Structure 1
Amino acid sequence: MDTKISAARPVSYFPVSPVMLFPEALGDFSVYLWRGGDFILYTSSGQKFTPSHCRVLHKNDIGEVYIQSSEKVQYEQYIEKHLGRILQDENLPIELRSKIFYEASTLVMQDVFDNKLPSTLRARHFARVSDIVKNSIKFLASDNSLSSVAPFISHDYKTYTHCMHVFICSVAMCHTYEVGENELFECGLGALLHDVGKAKIPRSILNKRGSLTQSEREIIKEHPVHGVSMCSHLPMTQNTINCILFHHEKLDGTGYPAGLKSENIPLPVRIISLADVYDALTSERPYAEAMDPYAALSLMRNSMRDALDMNVFKRFVAVLSGADMI
């Protein structure tokens, strides 16, 4: 089975944990071991990684195997496919599961935003985003999951990572309200896609350094409507549509696109709106430096109390404090 790789071939490799290779699951990549100063083929692409393979690695105390860099995409797809299985495996350290969740989910969201989207969100992208939500909402409900994910959260603002952060915080918040499973999925999906409409906003405006002109601000304000339009052909409930369309509404009626007031703004939308503001303030944006969590929360409490739901805000602070994120 073991085959040496010719030293003449300029091949690069990256290490992976053996616990991420699942018995009887096919992978479109080859697995290598490092032995005697050389890479040795252990399993070939398309070959099942059997329990016997696992036992050999465990018996020999092998904590790292290798994948060719040229097959990294195939490995990432394999992880995405088995993400639910990984997150529910309590034999794996929660830190490892959190890292895999964040990296796999971010890759999906980056793919959604970096591909030039047509006028509608592709069904295959929607299916992948839906799977992220389905596979992770139970994990994010578990004890210590939010604090274990926190170290991986980047403060360099990108739309796709911002959507991830809003999703993580919103799901954690929804759990404190004992939201039903279906509604939790609908709201989580809305949180993850809340800014999808920004894919139709010129990057020159999104990434502009300095103040926006009035006309540029009006263009930015179109993104919630763009988002709903892009998803109009997809199987979304009204809860999900509300989260995408209304996440910039404010309790005092000064938000957009509809100028809704307090009781007309659904609770999940209030949660997402608050998480949206918080992540934006604590991220490094082209036109503003990142604020530390305490400063951001102080600004929200003192300057945005008429716009944000202060009861939700208090619970949000408690959730962040419980996860040691302040």
Structure 2
Amino acid sequence: MDTNSRAARPVSYFPVSPVMLFPEALGNFSVYLWQGGDFVLYTSSGQKFTTRHRQNLHKNGIKEVYVQGSERAEYEKYIERNLGGILLDETLPIEARSRIFFEATTVVLQDVFDRKLPSALRARHLDRITEIVRNSIKFLAKDNSLSAVAPFISHDYKTYTHCMHVFVYSVALFQTFEMTESEVFEYGLGALLHDVGKAKIPKRILNKRGPLTTAEREIIKEHPVHGVSMCAHLPMTQNTINCILFHHETMDGSGYPAGIRGDNVPLAVRIISLSDIYDALTSDRPYAEAMEPYEALSLIRNEMRENVDMNVFKRFVAVLSGAEII
């Protein structure tokens, strides 16, 4: 530890919880403390952050450390590289692992949705998302994981956070059905990418306050087809593609883009569709305030029962109840 080395002041720093620094994992970024009105070097780039480093922070009551803004990309790679081991590390509190899961997933999805993309997703985007899904599923299968994750669910609607929430709810539901490990992965990937086609919808429409015009609604309805076209060159199974293409189909055939109905809507799609509706209703959107969970579920049960699979709905209520979300 070098608490006497003063670092040259960069343009910016961002705070990091010490929980996000993993003993014996090598990171290509420096870690700083805020002491005496200045940033002080704690560990250097390329130096392993050890158990002793963490213990010293804990002993001194330090809740936040800092990384230079110029090294954010290296920090994000470090989180993704170590995510699998972290989420399954029983020595870390599940609340800490839940925070790590949300922060790592947000970083990846924000890259996909908020930055300018080509007309197709690149393989590197899929590789990062695939790793997130693989590393998360076992963690989310744990009995108390949804309870631990719930406090991190944001009610400020953004496409990338919405996709993360739908993934969490959907995986929790997948676990209640007899699905193979590979099926849960393929469907989970579809849940996380279900709205990727919105990257091609003008933001003036996505973020519009007030009702959409008929023409604007028709443009929004194009996003499932856009999503499939963006992924067409990538090695995805039909299970994943179905989730992206059909997540707005309904049990009564009034959905889009194909108007399929009943058992023709795959079970995993029915699960994702319900998760999608629930998260949208319980989030603050440009045109509507968030509903309370019970209020949203009551609306679905009373006004949308022809659209959703009510057997899936009952399981969803049970899952949310078990996680003390309602």
SS in 2 for 1:260: coil
User: How much has 1:39 moved relative to structure 2?
Assistant: 5.0
SS in 1 for 2:233: coil
CA distance in 2, matches of 1:72, 1:196: 24
Q: In structure 1, give the amino acid aligned to 2:261.
A: K
User: How much has 1:291 moved relative to structure 2?
Assistant: 1.1
Contact 1:197-1:228 within 8 A present in 2 as well: yes
Unaligned runs of 5+ in 2: none
Contact 2:6-2:40 within 8 A present in 1 as well: no
> Higher mean Cα deviation, 130-139 or 283-292?
283-292
CA distance in 1, matches of 2:53, 2:214: 65
> Higher mean Cα deviation, 103-112 or 191-200?
103-112
Number of the residue aligned with 1:195: 195
What are the equivalent positions in structure 2 for 1:69-84 lying under 5 Å apart? 69-70=68-69, 71-84=71-84
Q: In structure 2, give the amino acid aligned to 1:66.
A: V
CA distance in 1, matches of 2:39, 2:106: 30
Unaligned runs of 5+ in 1: none
TM-score (norm 1): 0.92
Contact 1:140-1:168 within 8 A present in 2 as well: yes
SS in 2 for 1:233: coil
Number of the residue aligned with 1:227: 227
Contact 1:28-1:46 within 8 A present in 2 as well: yes
Contact 1:250-1:261 within 8 A present in 2 as well: yes
TM-score (norm 2): 0.92
What are the equivalent positions in structure 2 for 1:48-197 lying under 5 Å apart? 48-49=48-49, 53-55=50-52, 57-58=54-55, 61-62=59-60, 64=62, 66-70=65-69, 71-197=71-197
Would the alpha carbon gap of residues 33 and 287 (structure 1) be closer, same or farther in structure 2, given more than 3 Å must change? closer
RMSD: 2.1
User: How much has 1:116 moved relative to structure 2?
Assistant: 1.0
Q: In structure 2, give the amino acid aligned to 1:217.
A: R
CA distance in 1, matches of 2:298, 2:152: 24
Would the alpha carbon gap of residues 253 and 36 (structure 1) be closer, same or farther in structure 2, given more than 3 Å must change? closer
Would the alpha carbon gap of residues 66 and 268 (structure 1) be closer, same or farther in structure 2, given more than 3 Å must change? same
Would the alpha carbon gap of residues 315 and 35 (structure 1) be closer, same or farther in structure 2, given more than 3 Å must change? same
CA distance in 2, matches of 1:133, 1:283: 23
CA distance in 2, matches of 1:240, 1:264: 16
SS in 2 for 1:276: helix
CA distance in 1, matches of 2:291, 2:56: 49
Number of the residue aligned with 2:319: 319
State, as a whole percentage, how many aligned pairs show the same letter.
74
What are the equivalent positions in structure 2 for 1:238-277 lying under 5 Å apart? 238-277=238-277
Q: How many residue pairs get matched?
A: 323
Would the alpha carbon gap of residues 38 and 214 (structure 1) be closer, same or farther in structure 2, given more than 3 Å must change? closer
Q: In structure 2, give the amino acid aligned to 1:226.
A: H
User: How much has 1:26 moved relative to structure 2?
Assistant: 2.0
Would the alpha carbon gap of residues 229 and 13 (structure 1) be closer, same or farther in structure 2, given more than 3 Å must change? closer
Would the alpha carbon gap of residues 57 and 95 (structure 1) be closer, same or farther in structure 2, given more than 3 Å must change? closer
> Higher mean Cα deviation, 67-76 or 166-175?
67-76
SS in 2 for 1:259: coil
